[in-house]
Structure 1
């Protein structure tokens, strides 16, 4: 009888430890060299101008928030929901842009995005016209502020 050969168990090969790759050095970007004859003070003055601009913007931010808050409050106080629109179940948002001069006075207003419902758009235009001339007495650099006027039946 022929001998049957027993299958040998194959031993799994042990994974060889990989050689750790060294991280590649990161190349540093070279800064452009100053041209000859360029004053060294120019960089300092640019930095001072940038700081002054950011400082002015930082001062304007609270004023802008303050004027915006007062403007939104005024809009909400004087907003009137047209009766015809209320009866018809109309709702919508009208975006109005107000122009405020450097003394804090509202000098202009215009509807920049209509709701699509005529009575609501007309009421918003009338409201914005009534607000023109209001003075908030907050000195600023002059700005344009967009205020959404929401008409909701809730």
Structure 2
């Protein structure tokens, strides 16, 4: 039995080697050839924003054994030894000897006499009084009252405006900036053109319009002024 054992082992190893060679040849040979890739897969490109990896499965970890917390040893503070404070007595500093001086008598100062006030000169004559009356006061009313009065004034002047026939026939157009001062009774104190239309016919019509419209709507009492200066644009347009 011991002599035949080595021969039997070698025969078994040879048979096993032949079976491995036959299996490898069958693996290399395939009756269907190469397996084609699925159609259309080469033209698709996925970015990282479109494709996200699935989350990895969580591995259950064995529960950790409960460990009782070890109380920390807190060192008790050592009592501080009382420190004896040294008592320092306040010793007042020595007072220096200051020689006394006699008060010197000074003569009294002479009192200043008030100067006579200069006489106030008043503007005499009718011209100075007329200038004070015609000067417009600043606007002290509210903005709503001012806007309402300007709207009424514009509508009133528009009712009295005329377009000269000669200027209309010639196709003359222009804008004039009219400035005037009106009082609480609606009377025009003064007026003038800050900007003319460029046409004598139209400028004359602006002055005549103001004359026809007088007296103007009176200045409201809540304006807080006796006279108001108004600047308005008078437009002549054929359209």
**Common fold: TM-score over 0.5:** yes
- Give the aligned partner of residue 180 of structure 2: 98
**Shift in Å, 1:89:** 0.4
Is residue 143 from structure 1 mapped to residue 223 from structure 2 by the alignment? no
Matches for 1:57-72 after TM superposition, within 5 Å: 57=140, 59-72=141-154
Please list every run of 5 or more consecutive structure 2 residues that lacks an aligned counterpart in the other structure: 1-138
Please list every run of 5 or more consecutive structure 1 residues that lacks an aligned counterpart in the other structure: 1-55
2:162 to 70, 77, 80: 80
CA deviation profile, 1:104-136 (whole Å, cap 9, x unmatched): 524233222111111100000111122332243
Q: Is the partner of 2:142 in helix, strand or coil?
A: helix
**Matched residues, number:** 97
Write the distance in 1 (CA, Å) between the matches of 2:201 and 2:156.
20
- Give the aligned partner of residue 188 of structure 2: 107
Q: Is the partner of 2:238 in helix, strand or coil?
A: coil
**Shift in Å, 1:137:** 5.4
Write the distance in 1 (CA, Å) between the matches of 2:142 and 2:193.
25
Question: Which structure: larger Rg?
Answer: 2
- Give the aligned partner of residue 5 of structure 1: none
Q: 1:146 to 1:69 in 2, by over 3 A?
A: same
- Structure with more of its chain in strand, by fraction: 1
Q: Is the partner of 2:235 in helix, strand or coil?
A: strand
CA deviation profile, 1:85-113 (whole Å, cap 9, x unmatched): 00010000011112122x25242332221
RMSD between superposed Cα atoms in Å: 1.9
- Give the aligned partner of residue 237 of structure 2: 152
* RCO comparison, higher one (Cα < 8 Å, 6+): 1
